Amino acid sequence: MRALISVFNKENILEFAQALQNNDWEIVSTGGTYQLLKENGINVIAIDEVTQFPEILEGRVKTLNPYIHGGILFRRDIQEHRDVIDAHGIVPIDMVVNNLYPFEECLMKGEDHDTLIENIDIGGPSMIRAAAKNYQDVLIVTDPQDYSSVLDAVQDGPSLEFKEYLARKAFALTAHYDALIANYFAGRSEESIPYYMNKSFQLNEVLRYGENPHQAGAFYEDSDVSQKVNLKQLQGKQLSYNNLNDMYGAIKIAKNFDTTEGVVAVAVKHTNPCGIGWASTPEEAFAKAYECDTESIFGGIIALNEEVNAATARLMQEIFLEIIIAPSFSEEALEILSAKSNLRLMELPDFRTFELPKYSSREVLNGIIVQEYDRSEFPDNSLQFVTQKQPTEAQLEELKFAWQCVKGSASNSVVISKNKGTIGIGQGQTKRSWAVQEAIERSGDKIEGAVVASDGFFFEDTMELLHQAGVTAVIQPGGSKADPDVIRFADEHNMAVVFTGIRNFRH
């Protein structure tokens, strides 16, 4: 029996090779692996003795050879294959032990382009795929964690089920590796909609269950290193499927806001905001988010783009929350919040600076739909002031805040805000007037002096509802056939309407 061993990750390879040798396996090896095995007393055959050709091009070509791939790929149950192998003096290879050049590690380190190119493995994937294709006759070993089970299997004779397990793992590895490379090159392109969409995810954690207890669930981590952020759980229970989903929803809403000044606090329930506040201190921002809906926030998720200080922690500690995510927590805040041992505290140091992915996707029949993330910015220089009444400077600032909030709400969505805090959010409605009614009802008697933002255009009926509630300043995309009626109504009732020209649906 012959094994070809060529590994970059040399974890436990000496012990594995020695055990194979003790079981009368012949070992062929390449480059650095060959040197390591030979220096440690393993009887190893150099690859060029098998290929009858030296390694060339600084090791770029060493295993791409018929004496290697013929030995791996020939079908033992086909006489014609055996005759060809015998005629050419090719020795069968019964096991391939290989892991790949560290392209992923180089990406993580931020290596330059030339270094990354040189860490794209060619011979390794070719050998792995060849052995995996011929898995009924060849063992393909790609994970050092499998060494002990492989040794047990060769002692007793590996089962077909075990061989297929190794092949399945091998094909998943090469697919993951190729996706990393494809995504790296895609990231260098200005192409907005690529022809192929390659994604690879690695199992990070098996969750207690999915969205509901009867559904299995797991968290798979994106292998695209450009999307990785330094997220650390400081305390609390294991995150659930819904926790992870809601937490990301809260973060995405917070990222809508200017990251250079001020503090934003976002309270989320079922991925939808139930309160958003902006202020100069975290405690003020959180208080505004809380006051929008003091009931729905119960059991919610809080995203804060500033350190949680003691004053904020005291406010948070008074209510039941599932998760608080922030760049950091002061020592005093940690001490206060530690009284609630099940409360998850998540630290995201780069909260303000990390970038959301280029694309978002959603499952549909026969595939996924993909779009660029909504990175639209408030159009300060192209706003359309379409009514006789103009918003004051203070109202315009408030309208900007409300617009940033409505971007993160579920369509149809309407946000009513006052003093940089939401006071009423109507969202997820099939009819826009229902969203308006919901937002007005939630605002209660706080609505006087408030402004309104909508993710889609208004009709005259919605303007009537807002007028009756006492709202005098509105921001919306515009672009409807009903715009003249809306403008006429606003002028007749001394209301200021601003068009952005930007629709911000979030379905």
Q: Which residues are catalytic?
A: 133, 270
d(CA 422, CA 401): 9
CA count, 13 A, side-chain hemisphere, 32: 9
- Which residue has tokens 């919610």? 300
Residue 317 to residues 272, 314, 322, 325, 343, Cα–Cα distance (Å): 22, 5, 11, 14, 10
| Residue type at 307 in one-letter notation | E
d(CA 319, CA 473): 34
d(CA 65, CA 346): 51
Instruction: Answer whether 435's CB lies under 8 Å from 412's CB.
Output: yes
CB neighbours of residue 269 within 10 Å: 20
Strand 95-98, strand 344-347: pairing: unpaired
Instruction: Answer whether 253's CB lies under 8 Å from 357's CB.
Output: no
Read out DSSP for 408-442? TSPSS-EEEEETTEEEEEE-S-SSHHHHHHHHHHH
d(CA 428, CA 410): 5
* Angle CA 258–262–268, to nearest 5: 75
How would you class 413 by CB atoms within 10 Å of its CB: exposed for 0-12, middle for 13-18, buried for 19 or more? Answer: buried
Give the length of the chain. Answer: 507
- Which residue has tokens 């991925």? 271
d(CA 114, CA 126): 22
d(CA 326, CA 105): 28
d(CA 123, CA 177): 13
Structure tokens at 134: 């011929």
- Which residue has tokens 């922030």? 326
d(CA 203, CA 182): 20
d(CA 84, CA 69): 13
Q: What is the 3-state secondary structure (H, E, C) of 171-197?
A: HHHHHHHHHHHHHHHHHCCCCCCCCCC
